[in-house]
Each structure stands twice: as structure tokens, then as C-alpha cells.
Amino acid sequence: MAAPALTSRAGSVNSLGNSPTATPSSTNNNNKIIASYPELDFRSGARIEDLNRLIQEFSKHDQREYDDQRALEIHTAKDFIFSMLGMVQKLDQKLPVANEYLLLSGGVREGVVDMDLDELSVYARGTDYDMDFTLLVPALKLHDRNQPVTLDMRHSALCHSWLSLRLFDEVTINKWKDCCTVVDHVNGATNYFFSPTLVADWFYESISVVLVEIQKKPQRGMPRVEKVERNGTIISVILGVGSSRMLYDIVPVVSFKGWPAVAQSWLMENHFWDGKITEEEVISGFYLVPACSHKGRKENEWRLSFARSEVQLKKCISASLMQAYQACKAIIIKLLSRPKAISPYHLRSMMLWACDRLPATYLSQDDFSAHFLLGLIDDLQHCLVNKMCPNYFIPQCNMLEHLSDETAMLHARKLSSVRSDPTEHLRTTIEHAKAANRLTLDLHWRGSASNLPSPQSDAGGEHQPDDRLAKKLQQLVTENPGKSISVFINPDDVTRPHFRIDDKFF
């Protein structure tokens, strides 16, 4: 058999690129040519090129591009939620008048904050909502301190704290007495501890009252309130705006400026964000969220949250690593949903640890998403086998300490199946994303059709509507696959719609 012709470029170390598993062409001592092999994953045999392509495809379906109409609907829903919270403040003046909310893209179920998912109802994108957000709403603020904040952690596990209202003035204490548990000391003093469960009770009742009042006087263009549900200490609101459904997970929190003393040692270490953003940006503040440890008292214990810092750190994470993280998160949400021992927040913590551990030049490689995905799966499996997942900001806190051996090994075995065939699990995840998008699109078209005038509504018969708009839409969709199509209709003259396809108007 004839040997293949030699190319003008011989294989060399420099021609391998930075890939850790590339297999180059080489020549042995007998001058025989060894064929070049595709880059493979050692464990599964999957082609790295195929995994990269699938991750890119998942990202395309998972990160939807919004047209002008969808952007307007998102803005309308946000304004409605903020107005609603303003009315909640006016009910009994409990919330701060000048408040500062933190709006995060993604719901609590997506791991944007460290909260337990056991008590949350199961919502699915496409079936129940199209977009999801988390809104942290300070019930109390401590923003006047310039030194490390010391919390009362004597009764709590690491990363958790009780909150005594002795830190606040008498006016604040009197406002919130009914949302506190009371502890009497032997010296006769009374200590009020801010209760996450009682605060959540009050918050849900107040939001419900306000929404009833709002719906008594509906205004044109006002979002439809499709669901209001209490999920543990979280209030989940689903709004319908036009043809979009938005899920808001609203979380009552305590907001602090500065940095907690328990996390002070973390600042002494070297981190991946050094030199990219300032320390002042990272440690601008933290929260207490209404979640307790597995052995703590739900009525008293709050959990430290560094969501504000995580927003800043996300700016320093490469796009390829974020794509791998999103794909891995989609896989584990489906795979490890029962029992709920692992949350996407654990995966987020592992990603941050990986950023500290690995060189920035490696993590910034555009075509390394497959390596990052496989590495995150390996890291998660390692954490399960060892029942060890340190909190990124408070490393001495092990977030998996409570897991039973049986649960940890069950999830580790499930992850082993993913690691053995990542290609198939990525394909399944892509199909789920496509299905969710189809449901959203179907609802969008149904909503658009329902907003068109009907023959019965035109009593005069002067402008008998027909299905020309629907036919035109169908034609545009068929002729322009994969393009962004927007429809603009003048509410005063619905007979003259016009369309935008990408940047062209018709």
C-alpha cells in the first residue's frame, strides 16, 4: 500500500496548539508515517470537535435573541414588578423608602443564588414561562458601616447567621416586631431576632393584597398576573405580557455594605479576577437570604449570599467557559433533580474554583468548551464521591456536608453515565431546549392571532378582516429560516401592519 504524500509542514510541537489531548502526525525510527487522529476524549472516546459543535448548538438554542417587541415586554414586566413593590412599601412602611434591588437573569432554580430547592414548585421553560429572573428585595439595610460586619453565628452552621435587631434603631425594631422571634435573657433584656419565615409570610401576604388592588383597576397594556405562589421563603410571580410569560422569583433579603468578618481571610488569597476588576467592586456588599442550614432553625437562620460579588466576577469568566457551564447545568438539572441534593449553585462554585486553579490563558481558549464541560463533570463527580464542595467565599463551609453516603454515590453514578457518553447527553439537552423554544413560539403565534380583530367584533362590516396577516407571517417564516422577524401593528389601524426581518423593513 502506498504511503501518503508528505506535506511541506512536518509535525512539530508548535503545530499542536494548546490542546491537552491532541494526537499529532509523527514519524517513527523506520520512517513509517502514522496517520493523524482527531482529538478524542480519553474516557468516552467522543470527538472533542463534535462536543464543541454540540455545545455551540446548545448555546444557540438556550440563549434566545430578543426582538424589539420582546425587549419591550421584558421592560413592561420589570416596571410592573417595581411598581408593585412600591405599593407594598406604602402598605405599612416596612420596606425602606429608598431601596436598592438586585435583578438577576435566571430564576432561583437556575442557581443564581444559594438557596435550597426542596420547597420550590417545578416550573419548566416553555411549559410555564419563557424567561426567568430573580429579584432580591432588601427588607432591611445596613449600609452605614465601613468596617467588616460581624454577625451572630453562635447558634448557626458556617455560612449562616441569626440577625438581632439590636443593630437597628427603635423605629425599625417597632416596625418589624411582628416578624421576629423573641428571646428573653436572664438579665431581663428582650432580644428580637429577625425571622426569615415570618418575613416571607408578611411579604407574600402584602404582595397578594397589592395585586388584588391592582387588578381591581386594570390599565391598558398592564401585564396579566398568571400565577402568584409561595415557594418556601420565595414568592414566585408569573406575568403574561403580550405573548411572553416571565417568571420572577422575588426574595426578601437583608442587605449589607462592606464585607463579613467570616469571609475576611478569602480576601488575602490570590484570585483569577485580580487585576481585572477592583477589590472594591467585589466586596461592595453582601446579603442574608432566607435559607437555613440542614440542622438549623428555619424560623431564625439566614444564609450569607454573595450574589452582588458574583455579578462582578462573572465579567471575568471567558465566553467558552460560560457556554460549558450552561450546558453542564442543563444536563445536571434534568439528571440530578431527584433527590434534590445538588443544585446549579454547587456547579457555579466549582466553576469559580476552577478559575482560581487554572491559568487564564488556558481558560480563555475559544475552542476549549468541550474540555471545560468534561472538567466540570469530573469536578462535580469528585465533589460527590468525597462529599466536599467548599463555598467559594467561605472555603471552610462544606456545602455537601449534609449528604448521606447513599445519595452522594447515587448522583456520582448518574454523573458517571454522563461522563461515559457526553455526546448523547448533550444531544438530549439540545432537544429539550428546542422543545421549550417551540412551545414558546407556538404561544407567541397563538397570542398574536388572538390579538387580531375577529369578524364578529366588526358589527358595521366596513372593514371585514381576513387571514392575510397570518398568511403573510407564515410566508415570511418559511422564506426566512433562522432570521429575526418582528411585526409592528398600529393599534389605531390594524389593517396596515409592517414587518422587520433582521434590519430590513417591509
Q: What is the pLDDT of residues 361-381, one digit of tens each?
A: 999 999 999 999 999 999 999
pTM for this entry: 0.80
What's the pLDDT tens digit per position in 44-58? 999 999 999 999 999
Please determine, for residue 496, whether its predicted confidence score (pLDDT) is greater than 90: no
Question: CB atoms < 10 A from the CB of 240, how many?
Answer: 19
Give the per-residue pLDDT at 5. Answer: 40
pLDDT confidence bin for 11, thresholds 50/70/90: very low
Task: Walk across the sheet containing 485-490 and list its strands.
Answer: 485-490, 493-501, 504-505
Rounded CA gap, 506 and 363, in Å?
44
Structure confidence at residue 188 (pLDDT): 65
Average pLDDT over the chain, rounded to whole? 82
Residue 111 three-state SS: coil
Sorted by sequence, the CB contacts under 8 Å of residue 441 that are 6+ apart come out as none
First to last CA, the chain: 62
Per-residue pLDDT, 36: 72
Q: Pick from 253, 239, 162, 250: which is nearest to 204 by CA?
A: 250
Q: Is 335 exposed, middle or buried (0-12, 13-18, 19+ CB in 10 A)?
A: middle
| C-alpha pair distances (Å), 63 with each of 310, 326, 332, 376, 459 | 20, 10, 18, 20, 44
Rounded-to-integer distance, Cα 341 and Cα 401, Å: 11
pLDDT of 175 over the 60 cut = yes
Average of pLDDT values for 34-41?
78
Higher-confidence position of 406 and 30: 406
Torsion (CA) 360, 366, 369, 371 in degrees, nearest 10: -60
Backbone angle region of 275, left / alpha / beta, with phi > 0 → left and psi within -120 to 50 → alpha: left
**What letter represents residue 334's amino acid?**
K
Q: Is 92 helix (H, G, I), strand (E, B) or coil?
A: helix
Structure letter (DSSP) for residue 192: E
List strand residue ranges (DSSP E) for 123-165, in order. 131-142, 160-161
Structure confidence at residue 124 (pLDDT): 87
The crossing angle, in degrees rounded to 10, of helices 369-386 and 422-450 is 110
What does the pLDDT look like over 17-32, one tens digit per residue? 444 444 444 445 555 5
What is the average pLDDT across 470-484?
53
